[in-house]
Amino acid sequence: MRRATLPPHATAATPPARWTRFASPARFETLAASLARACWVVALLAGLAGLYVGFIVAPADATQGEVYRILFVHVPAAWMSMLCYLAIAFWAVVGWVMKLRMASRLARALAPSGALYTALALWTGALWGQPTWGTWWVWDARLTSELILLLLYLGYIALVESIDDDRRAAQAGALLALVGALNVPVIYFSVRWWNTLHQGASISLTSAPSMAQTMLLALGLMTIAFWAHAIAATLTRARALSWEQEPEALVAVKVSS
């Protein structure tokens, strides 16, 4: 079992800076416990509502028919697959540079959810592609770069879990996450940079959405559900990592409260 240790210059009496006050596992525990519960509830309610609106209420698409409904799961999963990896890179680098162990734990805790969203995006994309393109898989630029993203997630998880020393694991993971983050813009801009089979974005910041209001509502609800799930799952895993690595400190907090 790996145990984290305080850096030599840190003491229990050192007051935390305002912007790093939740870097303490004890302070993080008090915030994460209640926030995770709230996000689990939001994820459940928004997910059920989004699935109902998307699969029951929303009309069939004029071009794709009923198969387009897969996109209510596929699109948020694809968005979250990219956002989670960028968040991993951010927290991993913050944890490495600032020596904040909770930041490194957040990066580790994000990785399984990001890998799940990426796998879900690839799977639902294949389900959509078979009736639309006539094939389960093509070596399309976006599909290929999304597959590379899944391999990066799995590589990051394997790397940080294979190193016993937390500090070395955080450093190695930060380097891999930082380099792998270069793949995210490739995924996002692939449909613009190359001639691909993948359709362009239906929602843009510079133009009105090209879908019905009920479709947009379903997509919005599912996006909220995925966001809430990502936050809840990440906080839950980060808490578990803290209890695994620093149980004495957290037990003392529980007893004192």
Q: Which residue has the higher pLDDT, 86 or 167?
A: 86
Tokens at 108, concatenated: 């580790």
Can you give the pLDDT at residue 1?
46
41-96 pLDDT per residue, tens: 999 999 999 999 999 998 887 777 788 889 999 999 999 999 999 999 999 999 88
Length of the chain: 257
Can you give the pLDDT at residue 124?
93
Question: How far from 23 is each of 81, 146, 171, 176, CA to CA, in Å?
Answer: 25, 32, 17, 23
pLDDT confidence bin for 249, thresholds 50/70/90 = low
CA 237, 231, 84, 197 torsion-angle sign: positive
Can you give the pLDDT at residue 244?
78
- pLDDT reading at 246 higher than 80: no
- Give mean pLDDT, residues 212-223: 91
Could you tell me which of 164, 94, 152, 91 has the C-alpha nearest to residue 118? 152
Which segment, 23-37, 38-52, 201-215, is predicted with the most confidence on average? 38-52
